[in-house]
A and B are shown apart, each in its own frame.
Chain A
């Protein structure tokens, strides 16, 4: 890496490193009780056992379960998110394109949107029970709103001249939808997907705390109950990391799909 790029990185890391160092130091000096806020070094040690320790029925029930735990959550996020994409993108594009669809569907969506997914929890448990389907439902619902709203906007602001250009070249209505309106909406759709994936990670934690018995959200609450604040913190960092990595993945996908965007002034 060139020094010129190193400098912003150093600037970005300065504050976090200082905070962690201060935190570690206050822990060592016993200014903060270890049981309330474990030091970074103990959190790291806990995480190593959680991630790489031997499994089975040892004294530590978390030993070696980190990988499967993350996978449980990631799997639910993937299912819920893909469901939201499969419904939200086509529906959003259609709402943006067709006035009739907009008049019929948009008020329903806007009416349901102010109900936060947390308020759907009892409903979801009543309908799906303490099972995966409930978690997936909540994730899909949470991710659906930003996805559908952005797709609608993207499809709605297609320039009249692009539609005219395509129709003078012989485009039928369905060709207009697929080859002009949809690609025109793609930048907005990608923004919606990114927001939706963020919501999906929030939703999976909430759902796992309440509605299922595995995953990062379940471990978070379970560890809190048995007083394992070190596991709670390691879990929080893991959630952050998973969210960050999936966001980076979305960014990379965006850059790939919207290659032409980089030339726009």
Chain B
């Protein structure tokens, strides 16, 4: 079954048309990047998929179902980490299974595994405000991993990080994705990031937001940092830049 289908999606806010005629089809296990300038409607599209808002018209299905409200089958990693400052890291990560009333034994081992995977072992009893920006984003990632969602939605999750931390986070995400092979919708305005991470890059244009073109990224996996300077990488980057410019 197709992971995500958008069919002629349109979203308006009063007189502003944020999205127009969005068609999208994402296969299970595919990693797609939505690339576009800021204000082109990327977050709006993600909010529709997450179920935070409803499209003005058009149809949207996630694994065959129309999402009417947010739910743990669609995990969201936000641009600003959106952790609960009053909860310790452990309680932030395990928030979802605890909401569902699961006993600790049901999630403890997984929680430890994912906290370890994102490199936060030893920080379980810290509060979010004691962590750096990159570490908070890793908490946000770990709590989504623990939800075992069918779809990962990421809205410029590394946009606020410095270049070095961002690269480390991208590698971490690739590593995680290689082991899980879940469907990812990744939003970014950074061309390098889109090419480095995704199988498919969709370039969006602004006002109203439309999908302009689609690029298949056939760089081999697992991806390595060295690829960021490859000839193949640069050729793709040049093509995409041309699309973004006019």
Binding site for B on A (CB under 8 A): 159, 161-162, 164-171, 175, 179-180, 183-184, 186, 258-260, 263-265
Contacts and interface: CB of A to CB of B under 8 A. Distances in A.
Given A167-B69, A168-B74, 4 more contacts: A164-B70, A260-B127, A263-B129, A264-B129
B129 A265 contact: yes
B84 A183 contact: yes
A184 B83 CA distance: 12
B123 interface: no
B130 interface: yes
B71 A170 contact: yes
B99 A170 contact: yes
B85 interface: yes
Q: Which 9 A-B pairs have the closest CB atoms?
A: A263-B129, A169-B96, A170-B72, A161-B82, A165-B82, A168-B70, A167-B70, A260-B127, A183-B86
B45 to A, nearest CB: 15
B50 interface: yes
- Give the secondary structure class of A's interface: helix
B76 A165 contact: yes
- Give the secondary structure class of B's interface: loop
Contacts of A265: 129
A170 B100 CA distance: 7
B82 A164 contact: yes
Interface of B: 50-52, 69-72, 74-76, 78, 80, 82-87, 95-96, 99-100, 127, 129-130, 143, 147
B80 A168 contact: no
Contact of B130 (A167, A183, A263): A263
25 contacts: A164-B50, A164-B52, A164-B76, A165-B76, A165-B78, A165-B82, A165-B84, A166-B99, A167-B52, A168-B50, A168-B51, A168-B70, A168-B74, A168-B76, A169-B72, A169-B95, A169-B96, A169-B147, A180-B84, A183-B86, A184-B86, A186-B86, A260-B85, A260-B87, A260-B129
Contacts of B83: 165
Contacts of B72: 168-170
A162 B82 contact: yes
A179 B98 CA distance: 11
A171 B100 CA distance: 8
